[in-house]
Amino acid sequence: MKPLGVNRVIMAVEDIDKAVDIYSKLLGCTFEDQSEAAEPHGVRVALSWDGGIEMCTPLPGRDSLIQTFLEQHGEGLMGVIFSVDDVEEGRERAEKLGIEILGEIEFDQDQIKRFHKDRFRKYKEYALNPAQTCGVFMELAQIDQK
């Protein structure tokens, strides 16, 4: 597995519309609503590919990692998504190190077309337990451009 750098940071916010407004004006980046894809995880998401930012807010009445983070830490930088060239090898390395995989997200081609404007050949992420990564919530991701 080869690291390819930071794909994006995850920010937990109370008011996603306000956060998107601030960051799009401040940085000049654009955000796409990714809430349809994120709803099963109990969150609303706005993603800026050009800014490298994923804004997340919990859906009312739903349990989520974002809700837990906000309750424990308040708004702010929650985690980082690292791009790798082989996400399965990354998962294997994490497991060999005893790092728990908290979840995975994988989009098939139909979902990539629907959620990501058909930008990618492959989209798969693994979320790692921050208690085992020095307190950092991180994901390993293989997101191959078309």
Cα 30 to Cα 47: distance, rounded to the nearest angstrom: 8
pLDDT for res 12: 97
pLDDT for res 46: 98
Predicted TM-score of the model (pTM): 0.91
Q: Tell how far CA 92 is from the center of its chain.
A: 20
* Structural domains present in the chain: 3-145 (3.10.180.10)
pLDDT for res 141: 98
> Each residue of 37-52: pLDDT tens digit?
999 989 999 999 999 9
Element (H, E) at 10: strand 3-12
> Each residue of 86-98: pLDDT tens digit?
999 999 999 999 9
Three-state SS for 75? Answer: coil
Residue 84's pLDDT band, with cuts at 50, 70 and 90, is very high
Q: Quick check: 81 and 137 in contact, CB under 8 A? A: no
